[in-house]
Amino acid sequence: MRIGRMHPCANFIRCQGNDYQISMDQVLAFRDQQMQQDPSASGLPPAAIQWFWTEQLPQLLRQPHYRRQAEAHLNSLKLKSEDLGEMIERVAGQLLNDQAETDQQISQLQAVLEASHA
């Protein structure tokens, strides 16, 4: 029996033993193809990532074990996106306030400079 491991292309999927081996074999095959074309290539081959999203993941999601993991990850991503949106609004809101204060100071200083020049 093989030990389950995280998918080589998607660390949100814990593969069962045989599925991990299939995944790793495919990633290594794509790596070998990539190395023939570009010996200095590094990282996951783009073809492996494409294969995962278009072929393997849809097949894996037919199994409840993998579907639950993908749904849980999707929920985590949604929460992260909401948190990031709130952070952006807070930071952007503060920056807009800072800009308005700066513009007010510019207006005041320009008015005083123009009045004193006359």
Read off the DSSP letter of residue 55. I
Phi-psi label, residue 67: left if phi above 0, alpha if psi -120 to 50, beta otherwise: alpha
Q: Among candidates 12, 13, 14, which has minimal Cα distance to 4?
A: 14
What pLDDT was estimated at residue 109?
92
Q: Which amino acid is residue 74, in one-letter code? A: L
The residue extents of the domains of the chain are 5-117
Place of tokens 């894996």: 60
Average pLDDT, the chain: 92
Q: Read off the pLDDT of residues 15-63 as tens digits, 9 standing for 90 and up.
A: 997 999 999 999 999 999 999 999 999 999 999 999 999 999 999 999 9
